Chain A
Amino acid sequence: MMNKRRIFWALLVIALVVVGLGQSLAQEIPPEQPAQKAQVMEDQGKIIPSPKDIKERTAIYVFIGWMWLSITVLIFILRAKIKETDRLYHLRFFSQKKE
Protein backbone atom coordinates (compact mmCIF):
# COMPACT_ATOMS: atom_id res chain seq x y z
CA MET A 1 0.00 0.00 0.00
CA MET A 2 2.83 2.31 1.07
CA ASN A 3 4.88 1.44 -2.04
CA LYS A 4 1.93 2.10 -4.34
CA ARG A 5 1.45 5.50 -2.77
CA ARG A 6 5.14 6.33 -3.16
CA ILE A 7 5.09 5.27 -6.81
CA PHE A 8 2.00 7.40 -7.37
CA TRP A 9 3.64 10.52 -5.89
CA ALA A 10 6.92 9.90 -7.69
CA LEU A 11 5.10 9.53 -11.02
CA LEU A 12 3.07 12.67 -10.36
CA VAL A 13 6.17 14.74 -9.61
CA ILE A 14 8.02 13.35 -12.65
CA ALA A 15 4.99 14.07 -14.85
CA LEU A 16 4.83 17.65 -13.56
CA VAL A 17 8.54 18.20 -14.16
CA VAL A 18 8.40 16.68 -17.66
CA VAL A 19 5.27 18.66 -18.63
CA GLY A 20 6.73 21.81 -17.14
CA LEU A 21 10.04 21.42 -18.99
CA GLY A 22 8.18 20.65 -22.21
CA GLN A 23 6.03 23.73 -21.75
CA SER A 24 9.00 25.99 -21.07
CA LEU A 25 10.90 24.61 -24.09
CA ALA A 26 7.87 25.10 -26.32
CA GLN A 27 7.60 28.68 -25.15
CA GLU A 28 11.23 29.53 -25.88
CA ILE A 29 11.58 32.29 -28.45
CA PRO A 30 13.58 31.39 -31.59
CA PRO A 31 16.96 33.17 -31.58
CA GLU A 32 16.46 34.78 -35.01
CA GLN A 33 13.64 36.93 -33.69
CA PRO A 34 14.72 40.21 -32.05
CA ALA A 35 12.37 39.36 -29.22
CA GLN A 36 14.54 39.79 -26.15
CA LYS A 37 15.13 43.44 -26.89
CA ALA A 38 11.48 43.99 -27.75
CA GLN A 39 10.52 42.66 -24.33
CA VAL A 40 11.37 46.10 -23.06
CA MET A 41 9.36 49.23 -23.60
CA GLU A 42 11.44 52.38 -23.68
CA ASP A 43 9.73 55.53 -22.43
CA GLN A 44 11.76 58.77 -22.49
CA GLY A 45 14.99 56.95 -21.67
CA LYS A 46 13.27 54.86 -18.99
CA ILE A 47 13.42 51.08 -19.39
CA ILE A 48 10.28 49.29 -18.21
CA PRO A 49 10.54 45.51 -18.61
CA SER A 50 7.31 43.85 -19.62
CA PRO A 51 6.07 41.05 -21.92
CA LYS A 52 6.19 42.25 -25.53
CA ASP A 53 2.94 40.70 -26.74
CA ILE A 54 -0.04 38.56 -25.82
CA LYS A 55 1.90 35.35 -26.56
CA GLU A 56 4.64 36.21 -24.11
CA ARG A 57 2.15 37.44 -21.52
CA THR A 58 0.27 34.13 -21.81
CA ALA A 59 3.54 32.18 -21.48
CA ILE A 60 4.27 34.04 -18.25
CA TYR A 61 0.81 33.31 -16.84
CA VAL A 62 1.17 29.63 -17.80
CA PHE A 63 4.57 29.47 -16.10
CA ILE A 64 3.24 31.11 -12.90
CA GLY A 65 0.26 28.74 -12.90
CA TRP A 66 2.49 25.71 -13.41
CA MET A 67 4.82 26.87 -10.62
CA TRP A 68 1.98 27.31 -8.11
CA LEU A 69 0.55 23.91 -9.09
CA SER A 70 3.96 22.31 -8.44
CA ILE A 71 4.22 24.15 -5.11
CA THR A 72 0.75 22.91 -4.10
CA VAL A 73 1.69 19.30 -4.93
CA LEU A 74 4.99 19.61 -3.06
CA ILE A 75 3.21 21.08 -0.02
CA PHE A 76 0.76 18.17 -0.11
CA ILE A 77 3.69 15.71 -0.14
CA LEU A 78 5.46 17.60 2.66
CA ARG A 79 2.31 17.52 4.80
CA ALA A 80 2.19 13.74 4.38
CA LYS A 81 5.89 13.56 5.34
CA ILE A 82 5.25 15.72 8.43
CA LYS A 83 2.45 13.42 9.57
CA GLU A 84 4.70 10.40 9.11
CA THR A 85 7.74 11.88 10.91
CA ASP A 86 5.56 13.13 13.78
CA ARG A 87 4.08 9.65 14.14
CA LEU A 88 7.55 8.10 14.21
CA TYR A 89 8.67 10.68 16.78
CA HIS A 90 5.73 9.91 19.06
CA LEU A 91 6.50 6.19 18.70
CA ARG A 92 10.10 7.08 19.75
CA PHE A 93 11.31 5.33 16.59
CA PHE A 94 14.59 7.28 16.33
CA SER A 95 15.45 7.09 20.01
CA GLN A 96 15.61 3.27 19.89
CA LYS A 97 19.09 1.86 19.55
CA LYS A 98 19.68 -0.30 16.52
CA GLU A 99 20.42 -3.92 17.28
Chain B
Amino acid sequence: MSNGTEKPGLTDWFEERLGLAIITQFLRQKTVPQHKHSLWYYTGSAILLFFSIQIITGFMLLFYYKPTLEKANESVGRIMTEVPLGWILRSVHFWSSTFMIAIVFIHLMSIWFTKSYRKPRELTWMSGVFLLLVSLAFGFTGYLLPWDDLSVSATKVGTDIPRSIPVVGAWATKLLRGGEDVTGDTLTRFFGFHVCILPLFALFLIGLHVYLIQKQGMSLPLSLEKRQEKVKELPFWPNFVYREMIVWLILLGLLITLSISFPPSLDKAADLMAPAPEGIKPEWYFLFLFQTLKIFPSTILFVSGDTLAVFLILLFAILLFFLPLIDNKLEKMKGRIISYIAVAFLVFAVGMSVWSLLE
Protein backbone atom coordinates (compact mmCIF):
# COMPACT_ATOMS: atom_id res chain seq x y z
CA MET B 1 0.00 0.00 0.00
CA SER B 2 2.91 2.23 0.60
CA ASN B 3 4.43 1.85 -2.90
CA GLY B 4 5.90 5.22 -3.86
CA THR B 5 3.48 7.17 -1.69
CA GLU B 6 5.26 6.74 1.67
CA LYS B 7 6.39 10.01 3.23
CA PRO B 8 10.15 10.28 3.83
CA GLY B 9 11.16 10.30 7.51
CA LEU B 10 13.22 12.99 9.20
CA THR B 11 16.42 10.94 8.73
CA ASP B 12 15.68 10.61 5.00
CA TRP B 13 14.96 14.34 4.79
CA PHE B 14 18.38 15.19 6.25
CA GLU B 15 20.12 12.44 4.29
CA GLU B 16 18.75 13.81 1.00
CA ARG B 17 20.22 17.24 1.81
CA LEU B 18 23.43 16.43 3.70
CA GLY B 19 24.44 13.04 2.31
CA LEU B 20 25.80 11.87 5.65
CA ALA B 21 25.58 8.19 4.63
CA ILE B 22 29.01 8.58 2.97
CA ILE B 23 30.55 9.39 6.36
CA THR B 24 28.79 6.45 8.07
CA GLN B 25 29.91 4.18 5.25
CA PHE B 26 33.49 5.45 5.60
CA LEU B 27 33.48 4.93 9.38
CA ARG B 28 32.05 1.44 8.96
CA GLN B 29 34.84 0.55 6.53
CA LYS B 30 37.54 2.05 8.74
CA THR B 31 39.03 -0.65 10.94
CA VAL B 32 40.98 -0.65 14.22
CA PRO B 33 43.55 -3.38 14.92
CA GLN B 34 42.98 -5.44 18.06
CA HIS B 35 46.07 -6.51 20.03
CA LYS B 36 47.59 -6.22 23.51
CA HIS B 37 48.60 -2.57 22.90
CA SER B 38 45.11 -1.49 21.70
CA LEU B 39 44.60 0.42 24.94
CA TRP B 40 46.74 3.28 23.56
CA TYR B 41 44.26 3.81 20.70
CA TYR B 42 41.77 5.23 23.22
CA THR B 43 44.01 8.14 24.27
CA GLY B 44 43.46 10.14 21.07
CA SER B 45 39.68 10.41 21.43
CA ALA B 46 40.06 11.09 25.18
CA ILE B 47 42.16 14.18 24.32
CA LEU B 48 39.42 15.34 21.93
CA LEU B 49 36.81 14.79 24.66
CA PHE B 50 38.68 17.00 27.13
CA PHE B 51 39.44 19.60 24.47
CA SER B 52 35.68 19.84 23.75
CA ILE B 53 34.98 20.23 27.49
CA GLN B 54 37.62 22.98 27.61
CA ILE B 55 35.89 24.85 24.78
CA ILE B 56 32.42 24.56 26.36
CA THR B 57 33.49 25.52 29.90
CA GLY B 58 35.82 28.18 28.50
CA PHE B 59 32.93 29.85 26.65
CA MET B 60 30.85 29.80 29.84
CA LEU B 61 33.65 31.37 31.89
CA LEU B 62 34.12 33.96 29.15
CA PHE B 63 30.62 35.34 29.88
CA TYR B 64 31.82 36.56 33.31
CA TYR B 65 35.60 36.95 33.08
CA LYS B 66 37.03 40.49 32.62
CA PRO B 67 40.63 40.57 31.30
CA THR B 68 41.77 43.83 32.92
CA LEU B 69 44.26 44.52 35.68
CA GLU B 70 41.56 45.83 38.04
CA LYS B 71 38.80 43.32 37.29
CA ALA B 72 40.50 39.99 36.42
CA ASN B 73 40.89 38.63 39.96
CA GLU B 74 37.59 40.13 41.10
CA SER B 75 35.70 38.58 38.17
CA VAL B 76 37.16 35.11 38.89
CA GLY B 77 36.14 35.61 42.53
CA ARG B 78 32.65 36.52 41.34
CA ILE B 79 32.48 33.38 39.20
CA MET B 80 33.36 31.34 42.30
CA THR B 81 31.06 33.08 44.76
CA GLU B 82 28.07 34.59 42.94
CA VAL B 83 27.56 32.78 39.63
CA PRO B 84 25.33 29.69 40.12
CA LEU B 85 27.59 26.62 40.04
CA GLY B 86 30.42 28.92 38.92
CA TRP B 87 32.96 27.28 41.25
CA ILE B 88 32.17 23.88 39.71
CA LEU B 89 32.45 25.34 36.20
CA ARG B 90 35.91 26.79 36.94
CA SER B 91 36.92 23.56 38.62
CA VAL B 92 35.83 21.47 35.61
CA HIS B 93 37.84 23.81 33.31
CA PHE B 94 40.89 23.43 35.57
CA TRP B 95 40.69 19.64 35.97
CA SER B 96 39.83 19.10 32.32
CA SER B 97 43.03 20.93 31.29
CA THR B 98 45.00 18.76 33.74
CA PHE B 99 43.48 15.57 32.29
CA MET B 100 44.01 16.79 28.72
CA ILE B 101 47.71 17.56 29.15
CA ALA B 102 48.31 14.32 31.08
CA ILE B 103 46.70 12.28 28.28
CA VAL B 104 48.60 14.26 25.61
CA PHE B 105 51.84 13.20 27.36
CA ILE B 106 50.64 9.57 27.61
CA HIS B 107 49.59 9.62 23.93
CA LEU B 108 52.99 10.98 22.86
CA MET B 109 54.95 8.50 24.97
CA SER B 110 52.86 5.56 23.71
CA ILE B 111 53.64 6.54 20.11
CA TRP B 112 57.30 6.98 20.97
CA PHE B 113 57.52 3.53 22.62
CA THR B 114 55.56 1.69 19.90
CA LYS B 115 57.45 3.64 17.18
CA SER B 116 54.21 4.49 15.41
CA TYR B 117 55.83 7.60 13.89
CA ARG B 118 57.68 5.58 11.25
CA LYS B 119 57.03 5.94 7.52
CA PRO B 120 54.46 7.09 6.28
CA ARG B 121 53.31 8.72 9.55
CA GLU B 122 56.06 11.31 9.98
CA LEU B 123 53.73 14.28 9.49
CA THR B 124 51.19 12.84 11.94
CA TRP B 125 53.92 12.80 14.61
CA MET B 126 55.10 16.32 13.73
CA SER B 127 51.58 17.76 13.92
CA GLY B 128 51.23 15.92 17.26
CA VAL B 129 54.38 17.56 18.67
CA PHE B 130 52.96 20.96 17.63
CA LEU B 131 49.71 20.03 19.41
CA LEU B 132 51.67 19.22 22.57
CA LEU B 133 53.31 22.66 22.41
CA VAL B 134 49.91 24.32 21.85
CA SER B 135 48.48 22.42 24.85
CA LEU B 136 51.36 23.61 27.04
CA ALA B 137 50.88 27.16 25.75
CA PHE B 138 47.19 26.90 26.72
CA GLY B 139 48.24 25.92 30.23
CA PHE B 140 50.86 28.66 30.49
CA THR B 141 48.59 31.48 29.28
CA GLY B 142 45.58 30.24 31.27
CA TYR B 143 47.58 30.14 34.51
CA LEU B 144 47.96 33.95 34.54
CA LEU B 145 44.29 34.77 33.96
CA PRO B 146 43.11 34.61 37.66
CA TRP B 147 45.76 37.31 38.30
CA ASP B 148 46.62 36.22 41.85
CA ASP B 149 50.02 36.36 43.60
CA LEU B 150 51.12 32.89 42.58
CA SER B 151 50.08 33.11 38.91
CA VAL B 152 51.72 36.52 38.37
CA SER B 153 54.98 35.43 40.06
CA ALA B 154 55.07 32.16 38.08
CA THR B 155 54.48 34.10 34.84
CA LYS B 156 57.32 36.47 35.72
CA VAL B 157 59.64 33.47 36.13
CA GLY B 158 58.30 31.73 33.01
CA THR B 159 58.53 34.74 30.70
CA ASP B 160 62.04 35.51 31.98
CA ILE B 161 63.41 32.15 30.75
CA PRO B 162 63.79 33.16 27.06
CA ARG B 163 65.88 36.19 28.15
CA SER B 164 68.93 33.93 28.55
CA ILE B 165 68.97 33.16 24.80
CA PRO B 166 71.61 35.37 23.16
CA VAL B 167 70.54 38.07 20.63
CA VAL B 168 66.77 37.33 20.46
CA GLY B 169 66.17 36.50 24.14
CA ALA B 170 65.36 39.97 25.45
CA TRP B 171 63.13 40.61 22.46
CA ALA B 172 61.23 37.31 23.01
CA THR B 173 60.61 38.17 26.68
CA LYS B 174 59.36 41.64 25.70
CA LEU B 175 57.10 40.11 23.06
CA LEU B 176 55.58 37.69 25.58
CA ARG B 177 55.06 40.34 28.25
CA GLY B 178 54.00 43.19 26.01
CA GLY B 179 56.65 45.33 27.72
CA GLU B 180 59.60 45.10 30.07
CA ASP B 181 57.63 43.64 32.96
CA VAL B 182 54.51 41.60 33.66
CA THR B 183 51.67 44.14 33.67
CA GLY B 184 48.06 44.53 32.58
CA ASP B 185 49.30 44.40 28.98
CA THR B 186 50.67 40.90 29.61
CA LEU B 187 47.27 39.86 30.94
CA THR B 188 45.46 41.20 27.85
CA ARG B 189 48.04 39.54 25.60
CA PHE B 190 47.79 36.17 27.37
CA PHE B 191 43.99 36.37 27.30
CA GLY B 192 44.07 37.00 23.54
CA PHE B 193 46.37 34.03 23.04
CA HIS B 194 44.30 31.80 25.34
CA VAL B 195 40.86 32.44 23.85
CA CYS B 196 41.59 33.33 20.23
CA ILE B 197 45.01 32.59 18.72
CA LEU B 198 45.74 29.25 20.40
CA PRO B 199 42.23 27.79 19.78
CA LEU B 200 42.58 28.65 16.08
CA PHE B 201 45.97 26.94 15.94
CA ALA B 202 44.64 23.97 17.92
CA LEU B 203 41.60 23.51 15.64
CA PHE B 204 43.76 23.65 12.51
CA LEU B 205 46.31 21.20 13.94
CA ILE B 206 43.63 18.80 15.23
CA GLY B 207 41.98 18.87 11.78
CA LEU B 208 45.31 18.09 10.09
CA HIS B 209 46.20 15.41 12.67
CA VAL B 210 42.82 13.65 12.37
CA TYR B 211 42.95 13.86 8.55
CA LEU B 212 46.42 12.26 8.53
CA ILE B 213 45.24 9.48 10.86
CA GLN B 214 42.29 8.75 8.53
CA LYS B 215 44.56 8.85 5.50
CA GLN B 216 47.28 6.57 6.88
CA GLY B 217 45.10 4.34 9.07
CA MET B 218 45.94 3.06 12.55
CA SER B 219 49.52 1.88 12.96
CA LEU B 220 50.61 -1.44 14.41
CA PRO B 221 53.33 -1.68 17.08
CA LEU B 222 56.72 -2.54 15.57
CA SER B 223 56.89 -5.89 17.38
CA LEU B 224 53.63 -7.00 15.72
CA GLU B 225 54.51 -5.67 12.29
CA LYS B 226 57.78 -7.60 12.30
CA ARG B 227 55.91 -10.89 12.73
CA GLN B 228 53.86 -10.15 9.58
CA GLU B 229 50.87 -12.05 10.94
CA LYS B 230 47.30 -11.11 10.20
CA VAL B 231 46.03 -9.01 13.12
CA LYS B 232 42.40 -9.16 14.22
CA GLU B 233 40.49 -5.99 13.27
CA LEU B 234 37.25 -4.33 14.33
CA PRO B 235 35.11 -1.77 12.47
CA PHE B 236 35.54 1.73 13.89
CA TRP B 237 31.78 2.30 13.73
CA PRO B 238 30.03 1.15 15.83
CA ASN B 239 32.19 -1.57 17.47
CA PHE B 240 35.18 0.57 18.46
CA VAL B 241 33.13 3.71 19.21
CA TYR B 242 31.06 1.77 21.79
CA ARG B 243 34.30 0.71 23.49
CA GLU B 244 35.52 4.32 23.43
CA MET B 245 32.24 5.45 24.99
CA ILE B 246 32.99 3.30 28.05
CA VAL B 247 36.36 5.05 28.45
CA TRP B 248 34.72 8.48 28.00
CA LEU B 249 32.10 7.69 30.66
CA ILE B 250 34.74 6.64 33.20
CA LEU B 251 36.87 9.72 32.44
CA LEU B 252 33.83 12.01 32.71
CA GLY B 253 32.93 10.45 36.05
CA LEU B 254 36.48 10.98 37.34
CA LEU B 255 36.52 14.56 36.03
CA ILE B 256 33.26 15.52 37.76
CA THR B 257 34.20 13.74 40.99
CA LEU B 258 37.59 15.48 41.19
CA SER B 259 36.11 18.85 40.15
CA ILE B 260 33.55 18.74 42.95
CA SER B 261 35.87 17.24 45.57
CA PHE B 262 39.01 19.32 44.92
CA PRO B 263 38.10 22.69 43.38
CA PRO B 264 41.00 25.12 42.82
CA SER B 265 41.22 28.06 45.21
CA LEU B 266 41.86 31.71 44.36
CA ASP B 267 44.45 33.93 46.05
CA LYS B 268 44.01 37.65 46.57
CA ALA B 269 44.73 39.95 43.61
CA ALA B 270 48.42 40.29 42.75
CA ASP B 271 50.27 43.37 43.89
CA LEU B 272 52.85 44.20 41.22
CA MET B 273 54.97 46.20 43.68
CA ALA B 274 55.09 43.45 46.33
CA PRO B 275 58.02 40.98 46.49
CA ALA B 276 57.47 37.53 45.01
CA PRO B 277 55.90 35.06 47.49
CA GLU B 278 57.92 32.08 48.67
CA GLY B 279 57.57 28.66 47.08
CA ILE B 280 56.59 29.74 43.58
CA LYS B 281 55.92 26.71 41.44
CA PRO B 282 54.42 26.34 37.98
CA GLU B 283 51.70 23.84 37.05
CA TRP B 284 52.71 20.16 37.41
CA TYR B 285 53.45 19.75 33.67
CA PHE B 286 56.20 22.40 33.83
CA LEU B 287 57.72 21.13 37.07
CA PHE B 288 60.43 18.99 35.43
CA LEU B 289 61.57 21.95 33.28
CA PHE B 290 61.46 24.24 36.31
CA GLN B 291 63.56 21.85 38.40
CA THR B 292 66.04 21.28 35.55
CA LEU B 293 66.62 25.03 35.25
CA LYS B 294 66.89 25.33 39.02
CA ILE B 295 69.64 22.73 39.47
CA PHE B 296 71.83 24.04 36.66
CA PRO B 297 74.98 25.80 37.98
CA SER B 298 75.26 29.55 37.29
CA THR B 299 78.19 29.08 34.87
CA ILE B 300 79.57 26.06 33.04
CA LEU B 301 82.86 26.62 31.18
CA PHE B 302 82.37 30.42 31.02
CA VAL B 303 78.83 29.95 29.60
CA SER B 304 75.79 31.00 31.60
CA GLY B 305 74.07 27.93 33.10
CA ASP B 306 70.62 29.32 32.22
CA THR B 307 71.63 29.82 28.59
CA LEU B 308 72.99 26.30 28.39
CA ALA B 309 69.87 24.82 30.00
CA VAL B 310 67.53 26.69 27.63
CA PHE B 311 69.62 25.58 24.65
CA LEU B 312 69.48 21.96 25.78
CA ILE B 313 65.69 22.15 26.17
CA LEU B 314 65.31 23.72 22.72
CA LEU B 315 67.62 21.10 21.21
CA PHE B 316 65.55 18.34 22.81
CA ALA B 317 62.32 19.86 21.41
CA ILE B 318 63.84 20.07 17.90
CA LEU B 319 65.12 16.48 18.07
CA LEU B 320 61.69 15.34 19.29
CA PHE B 321 60.03 17.08 16.34
CA PHE B 322 62.36 15.42 13.80
CA LEU B 323 62.31 12.02 15.57
CA PRO B 324 60.69 10.11 12.63
CA LEU B 325 63.48 11.32 10.34
CA ILE B 326 66.22 10.46 12.85
CA ASP B 327 64.81 7.07 13.91
CA ASN B 328 64.34 5.80 10.34
CA LYS B 329 66.30 2.54 10.65
CA LEU B 330 64.31 0.81 13.32
CA GLU B 331 66.05 -2.54 13.22
CA LYS B 332 69.48 -0.98 13.75
CA MET B 333 71.24 -0.04 16.98
CA LYS B 334 70.12 3.61 16.54
CA GLY B 335 66.47 2.60 16.88
CA ARG B 336 67.18 0.71 20.09
CA ILE B 337 69.19 3.61 21.54
CA ILE B 338 66.28 5.98 20.83
CA SER B 339 63.94 3.61 22.71
CA TYR B 340 66.32 3.74 25.70
CA ILE B 341 66.34 7.55 25.45
CA ALA B 342 62.51 7.49 25.66
CA VAL B 343 62.69 5.46 28.89
CA ALA B 344 65.43 7.74 30.27
CA PHE B 345 63.37 10.85 29.44
CA LEU B 346 60.31 9.43 31.19
CA VAL B 347 62.33 8.56 34.32
CA PHE B 348 64.01 11.99 34.26
CA ALA B 349 60.71 13.89 33.86
CA VAL B 350 58.95 11.96 36.64
CA GLY B 351 61.99 12.15 38.94
CA MET B 352 62.46 15.89 38.48
CA SER B 353 58.73 16.57 39.02
CA VAL B 354 58.69 14.52 42.25
CA TRP B 355 61.87 16.27 43.45
CA SER B 356 60.31 19.67 42.79
CA LEU B 357 57.11 18.69 44.61
CA LEU B 358 59.02 17.44 47.66
CA GLU B 359 61.12 20.60 47.98
Residues of chain A touching chain B, judged by Cβ–Cβ distance below 8 Å, are: 36-37, 39-40, 44-50, 60, 63-64, 67-68, 71, 74-75, 78-79, 81-82, 85-86, 89, 94
Contact = CB atoms under 8 A, between A and B. Distances in A.
A46 B87 contact: no
B351 to A, nearest CB: 31
A79 B238 CA distance: 12
A48 B234 CA distance: 48
B145 to A, nearest CB: 15
Contacts of A47: 77, 80-81, 265-266
A60 B81 contact: no
Given A79-B246, A82-B243, A86-B234, A40 B260 contact: no
A76 B337 CA distance: 44
Across the A-B interface, the 9 shortest Cβ-Cβ residue pairs: A45-B268, A49-B87, A47-B266, A49-B263, A48-B265, A40-B81, A71-B253, A82-B242, A85-B239
Given A75-B246, A82-B242, 18 more contacts: A46-B268, A47-B77, A47-B80, A49-B80, A63-B260, A64-B260, A64-B261, A67-B253, A71-B252, A74-B249, A78-B246, A79-B246, A81-B242, A82-B239, A85-B239, A85-B242, A89-B235, A94-B235
Main secondary structure of the interface of A (DSSP, over half): helix
Contacts, number: 68
Contacts of B261: 64
Contacts of B263: 49-50
Contacts of A71: 249-250, 252-253
A13 to B, nearest CB: 13
B91 interface: yes
A37 B246 contact: no
Contacts of A79: 246
A63 B88 CA distance: 13
B304 interface: no
B245 interface: yes
Interface of B: 28, 77, 80-82, 84, 87, 91, 234-235, 238-239, 242-243, 245-246, 249-250, 252-253, 256-257, 260-261, 263, 265-268
- The residue in A37, A60, A74, A78 that gathers the most chain B C-beta atoms within 10 A of its C-beta is A78
Nearest to A88: B239
Nearest to A49: B87
A39 B261 CA distance: 13
A63 B267 CA distance: 28
A4 B82 CA distance: 48
5 contacts: A37-B81, A39-B81, A40-B87, A82-B242, A86-B239
B68 to A, nearest CB: 19
Contacts of A64: 256-257, 260-261
B249 A75 contact: yes
A29 to B, nearest CB: 9
Contacts of B266: 46-47
- The residue in B242, B257, B263, B268 that gathers the most chain A C-beta atoms within 10 A of its C-beta is B242
A73 B239 CA distance: 19
Given A46-B268, A47-B265, A48-B265, A89 B234 contact: yes
A16 to B, nearest CB: 14
Contact of A39 (B87, B235, B256, B267): B87
A81 B268 CA distance: 51
Contacts of B28: 94
A46 B242 contact: no
Nearest to B88: A49
Contacts of A94: 28, 235
Contact of A36 (B82, B235, B250, B265): B82
A98 to B, nearest CB: 13
A63 B253 CA distance: 11
Nearest to A82: B242
Contacts of A89: 234-235, 239
B82 A37 contact: yes
B253 A68 contact: yes
Nearest to A31: B84
